[in-house]
């Protein structure tokens, strides 16, 4: 069993257990910091970011993590640089047609489809 290390990870576990709504967990994701591995050096304004992508049944999914300890060896090798950014700011950088994978390869994470990601951003603009 993996132990939650951050408030966001605790929220992910609560949402999975039905103790928190997914919408509330996503709002917490949007307000908190996430770590985005990058294949190239990233400037403070995000310029140079080359995030990792996974393929999920033909859909590109951009990768982020909730804690440095969650970034596995494979991700570190492919993307030796890392940017910390507020979750919503990162979601707004994701290209249309791409989804999101949080903490891939771990027990504490989630996926968001491209459509779900866009819908979340639209709802947050209200």
pLDDT digits (tens, 9 = 90+) for 13-44: 999 999 999 999 999 999 999 999 999 999 98
Mean pLDDT within 105-114: 93
β-pairing, 33-38 vs 59-64, is unpaired
What average pLDDT does range 70-91 have in this prediction?
94
pTM, two decimals, is: 0.91
| Domains by residue range for the chain, with CATH | 33-120 (3.40.1350)
Closest CA to 9 of 84, 89, 107: 107
């Amino acid at each position: 069993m993996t132990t939650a290390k951050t408030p966001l990870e605790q929220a992910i576990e609560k949402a999975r257990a039905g103790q928190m709504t997914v919408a509330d967990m996503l709002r917490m994701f949007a307000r908190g910091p996430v770590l985005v591995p990058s294949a190239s050096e990233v400037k403070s304004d995000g310029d140079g970011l080359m995030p990792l992508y996974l393929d999920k049944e033909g859909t590109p999914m951009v990768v982020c993590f909730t804690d440095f300890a969650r970034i596995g060896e494979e991700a570190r090798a492919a993307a030796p640089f890392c940017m910390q950014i507020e979750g919503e700011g990162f979601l707004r950088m994701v290209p249309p047609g791409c989804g999101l994978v949080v903490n891939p390869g771990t027990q504490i994470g989630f996926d968001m489809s491209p459509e779900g990601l866009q819908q979340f951003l639209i709802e947050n603009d209200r």
